[in-house]
Every structure is written in C-alpha cells, then in structure tokens.
C-alpha cells in the first residue's frame, strides 16, 4: 500500500507545487515590478530566481518526506497519511509565500538593487 500512497502523494504535491508556482510567477511579476520601480530586467530576474528557489525547496521537501512514512495497511490509513503529507506541503507553500511577500519589499528597499 505504501507504493500507492507514495504515487498519489507525489502526483498531488508535484502538481500543486507546479500549478501554484506558475500562478505566483505570472501574477507576482506585477508585484515585483511595482517594488522595483518598473525595472523590467531586474523584476524578471528576481521573479525567475524566486520560482526556481520555490520549486527546489518544495519539491525537495516533498521528496524528503517520503522517508518518514510509516507502513500503511488499510485504505483508511492510506487516505489519512496522504492527506496529512499533502496538507504539510500545502502549509509549507503558504508559509513560503508569506515569507516572500514580506521579504521582497525589504529587498526592494536595499541599496544593493538601486542604481547609483
């Protein structure tokens, strides 16, 4: 049963991660452009870096979570376990999103990204 649980879990978490990442990338561009005074090359550069980091952290985390999985014997355990693991990934996506929403304006104010 564990192989079935892994398959369901990986399908859901990878699909959610990619779908949400693409939404963040597409819609976040406007937010980042605003913060960086419509500096298109810089905003696009930062947006791409955020997307790559987002994918690496979340897909890596999703994969590492497989090692902590207990043996599953029933369909009820399978559903509970997959739900628990997927919920953990979705919560991590939300936390990462809010950290980015807080951090990006701080980066925008940094002298590192201002042209002199």
pLDDT tens profile 37-88 = 889 998 899 899 989 988 998 889 888 888 888 899 999 999 999 999 999 8
Q: What is the pLDDT of residue 44?
A: 93
The parent domain of residue 38 ranges over 2-110
56 is a domain residue: yes
Q: How many domains does the chain have?
A: 1
**In a domain? residue 116:** no
pTM across the whole model: 0.76
Domain annotation covers residue 20: yes
Q: Residue 88: inside a domain, yes or no?
A: yes
Q: Which residue has the tokens 């005074």?
A: 37
pLDDT at 102 over 90: no
Whether 115 is in a domain gets the answer no
Q: Is the pLDDT of residue 111 over 60?
A: no
Residues contacting residue 6 through CB under 8 Å, at least 6 positions apart = 66, 69
Q: What is the pLDDT of residue 15?
A: 93
What integer pLDDT is reported at residue 116 of this predicted model?
46
The full length of the chain comes to 116
Name, in order, each residue with C-beta under 8 angstroms of 26's C-beta and a sequence gap of 6 or more. none
Structure tokens at 48: 């791409």
Q: What's the pLDDT at 69?
A: 87
């Amino acid at each position: 049963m564990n192989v079935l649980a892994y398959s369901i879990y990986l399908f859901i978490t990878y699909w959610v991660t990619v779908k949400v990442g693409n939404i963040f990338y597409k819609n976040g561009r406007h937010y980042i452009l605003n913060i960086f005074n419509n500096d298109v090359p810089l905003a696009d550069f930062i947006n791409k870096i955020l997307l790559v980091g987002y994918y690496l952290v979340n897909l890596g985390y999703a994969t590492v979570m497989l090692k902590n999985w207990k043996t599953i014997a029933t369909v009820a355990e399978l559903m509970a376990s997959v739900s628990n693991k997927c919920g953990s990934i979705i919560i991590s996506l939300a936390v990462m999103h809010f950290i980015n929403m807080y951090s990006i304006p701080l980066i925008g104010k940094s002298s590192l990204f201002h042209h002199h």
